[in-house]
């Protein structure tokens, strides 16, 4: 533990020293809430769990939930692959391409396999939250005739606070902020290859790995990120949220494992600093319970509810024109069609135990089903993933299964910063 703390402190100092140098972008440093996949989420106005630390830190002000265990596995296109196995000769590696070929002959596969396990320890309650998570992701996807491969492993911590700004006649405004120190090990510098070349060389894995990893590196990146959020609520019925994700998220390369893992193709990379681009997200949600209309119902039936939510993500990364210069950012990276940043969701809770979820994300459908027996929860979902920059360009889907323990705290804590700040300043009760 002392060694880890020393590495983290050294990395944070290095991050500050490298802040003026050029940095390369990397995938977001976040923990996915598996139960929101079926909702087309996450949703910044519907996230009253410990995972609100990443979706919208302001949600911690009204949350009262922990996380003690999470096994979450995501895999791409499971049903399509199973349905195509009869036409594949496993003695011929090149025939494996049939597992990923669509009816029109194009290759669409991804995004890869993701695993969250065993760390998922956290708490978010009445204005304070913290947590520890680890996760591994293998990013293998085919787009057209091109195959891309990457691997990353994260250890992420997060700590945040939230406070109420004003509360009056059922209306409230909360604000929150979270810091997320992290350590990431990932492949860097792997170039895309032809899918047929990748599959044809599966019989000679040593040479294939060397070729894939030629001039690539395995940097260990340590750093910190900053998120913030705002949440407006009207009683228990409606909410509106704004999240400022990765206001500053920068990591420094502590070391490169290329020379220590014994893979000939790895040679290391020159990049010394990485960052996650800032995203601004807005969302709204509303919910009603049967007990709102029938107050005399038994508690078990009265807790049945319907919640609706909608979000517009990454507001600052949109393209509205049709000229070539309108479709790329200042670094020359392709900008996604703004319609892909819209998401919608609905959750129907039945008799406390059953959750039925529907959603749309990246203009693709999502469906989820959950069983909640108090703290012990099982969830499954299937949802669309758009690998391209336009709707329907390279559409895929992902299947997720999660088993989790998410206990509700029995005590409500009154932290010194809880607020409401304006009420206290003006003497309003």
The 3-state DSSP class for residue 324 equals helix
What's the pTM value of the predicted model, to 2 decimals?
0.89
**Rounded CA separation 231/242 (Å):** 7
Residue 22 — φ and ψ, nearest 5°? -70, 140
Q: What percent of the chain is helix, strand and coil (3-state, nearest 5)?
A: 20, 45, 35
Using alpha carbons only, give the angle 312, 360, 358 rounded to the nearest 5 degrees.
125
How big is the chain, counted in residues?
Answer: 429
What pLDDT does residue 355 have?
97
- Residue carrying structure tokens 């492949």: 187
Q: Is the pLDDT of residue 3 over 50?
A: no
Q: Is the pLDDT of residue 372 over 60?
A: yes
Determine the average pLDDT of the residues in 233-248.
97
**Rounded CA separation 115/187 (Å):** 17
CB 141 within 8 A of CB 148: yes
Q: Is the pLDDT of residue 8 over 70?
A: no
Choose from 94-98, 148-152, 409-413 the range with maximum mean pLDDT. 148-152
Determine the average pLDDT of the residues in 61-87.
92
Residue 239: CB atoms within 10 A of its CB come to: 28
Determine the average pLDDT of the residues in 374-382.
96
Question: Average pLDDT of the chain?
Answer: 89
Q: Is the pLDDT of residue 20 over 50?
A: no
State what percent of residues in the chain have pLDDT above 70.
Answer: 91
- Give the residue among 265, 279, 287 at the shortest CA–CA distance from 312: 279
Q: Is the pLDDT of residue 9 over 80?
A: no
- Residue carrying structure tokens 């792997």: 190
282 pLDDT band, cuts 50/70/90, is: very high
352 pLDDT band, cuts 50/70/90, is: confident
Q: Is the pLDDT of residue 2 over 50?
A: no
How far, in Å, are 52, 65, 272, 317, 339 from residue 335 at the CA level?
A: 27, 37, 25, 7, 12
76-90, 155-169, 197-211, 389-403 — which is least confidently predicted?
A: 197-211
């Amino acid at each position: 533990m002392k060694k880890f703390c020393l590495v983290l402190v050294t990395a944070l100092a290095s991050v500050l020293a490298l802040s003026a140098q050029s940095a390369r972008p990397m995938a977001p440093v976040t923990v996915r809430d598996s139960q929101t996949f079926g909702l087309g989420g996450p949703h910044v106005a519907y996230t009253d769990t410990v995972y609100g630390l990443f979706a919208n830190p302001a949600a911690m002000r009204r949350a009262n939930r922990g996380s003690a265990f999470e096994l979450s596995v995501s895999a791409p296109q499971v049903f399509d692959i199973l349905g195509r196995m009869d036409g594949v000769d496993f003695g011929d590696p090149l025939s494996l391409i049939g597992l990923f070929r669509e009816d029109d002959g194009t290759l669409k596969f991804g995004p890869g396999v993701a695993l969250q396990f065993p760390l998922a320890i956290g708490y978010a309650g009445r204005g304070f939250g913290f947590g520890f998570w680890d996760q591994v992701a293998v990013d293998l996807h085919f787009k057209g005739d091109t195959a891309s491969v990457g691997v990353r492993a994260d250890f992420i911590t997060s700590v945040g606070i939230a406070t109420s700004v004003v509360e009056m006649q059922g209306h409230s405004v909360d604000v929150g902020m979270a810091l997320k120190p992290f350590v990431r090990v990932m492949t860097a510098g792997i170039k895309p290859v032809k899918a047929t070349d990748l599959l044809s060389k599966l019989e000679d894995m040593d040479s294939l790995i060397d070729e894939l990893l030629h001039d690539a590196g395995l940097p260990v990146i340590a750093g910190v990120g900053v998120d913030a959020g705002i949440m407006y609520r009207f009683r228990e019925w409606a909410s509106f949220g704004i999240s400022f994700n990765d206001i500053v998220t920068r990591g420094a390369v502590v070391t490169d494992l290329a020379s220590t893992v014994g893979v000939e193709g790895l040679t290391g990379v020159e990049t010394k600093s990485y960052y996650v681009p800032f995203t601004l997200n807005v969302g709204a949600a509303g919910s009603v319970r049967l007990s709102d209309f029938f107050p005399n119902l038994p508690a078990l039936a009265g807790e049945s509810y319907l919640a609706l939510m909608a979000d517009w993500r990454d507001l600052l990364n949109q393209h509205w024109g049709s000229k070539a210069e309108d479709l790329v950012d200042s670094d020359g990276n392709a900008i996604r069609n703004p319609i892909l940043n819209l998401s919608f969701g609905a959750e129907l809770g039945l008799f406390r135990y059953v959750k039925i979820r529907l959603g749309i994300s990246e203009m693709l459908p999502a469906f989820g089903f959950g069983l909640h027996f108090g703290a012990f929860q099982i969830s499954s979902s299937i949802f669309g993933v758009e690998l391209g920059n336009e709707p329907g360009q390279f559409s895929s889907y992902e299947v997720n299964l999660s088993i989790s323990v998410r206990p509700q705290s029995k005590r409500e804590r009154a932290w010194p910063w809880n607020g409401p700040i304006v009420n206290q300043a003006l003497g309003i009760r």
